[in-house]
Amino acid sequence: GENVEQHPSTLSVQEGDSAVIKCTYSDSASNYFPWYKQELGKRPQLIIDIRSNVGEKKDQRIAVTLNKTAKHFSLHITETQPEDSAVYFCAACGNQFYFGTGTSLTVIP
Amino acid sequence: NAGVMQNPRHLVRRRGQEARLRCSPMKGHSHVYWYRQLPEEGLKFMVYLQKENIIDESGMPKERFSAEFPKEGPSILRIQQVVRGDSAAYFCASSQQEMDEQYFGPGTRLTVT
């Protein structure tokens, strides 16, 4: 089966700095890679996703990159704001969704 | 367009009782997924269903747990004879296509006393 690893598990940045979260996967059949943001006590919400036929996707301050050869993908948040503080999960999807273990991001005002 | 609905939001059960968790997918979505989340942990896949069919239940314990998604009505995750270790948040998600963008419900927080 698939194995998704996510790093770091916790990340603190100063407001305005960038944050990068990285995930690796093992199953070359995985072809869809979403990222979810989960605030405390709330549901995971899809913030951006990328499919295997694309190397990079950007939506305002959020971008995701995918390296299929190396089997890793990353979330980049620029100009971080306190409201970006949350737990972020990556996922790799082929026959099933496999989630990473999450990164707790804290943006310090 | 209403999002994914789950009820109840909070459920307290004593050991040995049954828990029934309901999930109504987004309108137009026929694919439902159930996940379990322990405190400060990630989402663990449990089961993937389409209408009247269980597609993948590899993440669901074989004992005491069952799921269904009938032709009419919500998907139901049923836990029989609950134990303390079943205490967790149970999220369902739905998608329009198989293994496509998933939208999550608010979750049911199960507490077993």
Contacts of residue B105 in chain A, CB cutoff 8 Å? 43
Per-residue pLDDT of A58-74, as tens digits, reads 999 999 999 999 999 99
Per-residue pLDDT of A35-91, as tens digits, reads 999 999 899 999 999 998 889 999 999 999 999 999 999 999 999 999 999 999 999
C-alpha distances (whole Å) from A35 to each of A22, A64, A90, B77, B88 are 11, 9, 5, 25, 22
Percentage of residues in chain B with pLDDT exceeding 90? Answer: 81
Interface test with B, best of A46, A89, A96 (most B CBs within 10 A): A96
Residue by residue, what is the 3-state secondary structure of B33-100?
EEEEECCCCCEEEEEEEECCEEEECCCCCCCCEEEECCCCCCEEEEECCCCHHHCEEEEEEEECCCCC
Interface test with B, best of A2, A36, A97 (most B CBs within 10 A): A97
Averaged pLDDT for residues B38-43: 84
Contacts of residue B101 in chain A, CB cutoff 8 Å? 34, 46, 49
pLDDT > 90? residue B53: yes
Contact check, Cβ <8 Å, B102/A89: no
| Confidence at residue B1, expressed as pLDDT on a 0 to 100 scale | 53
Contacts of residue B41 in chain A, CB cutoff 8 Å? 101-102
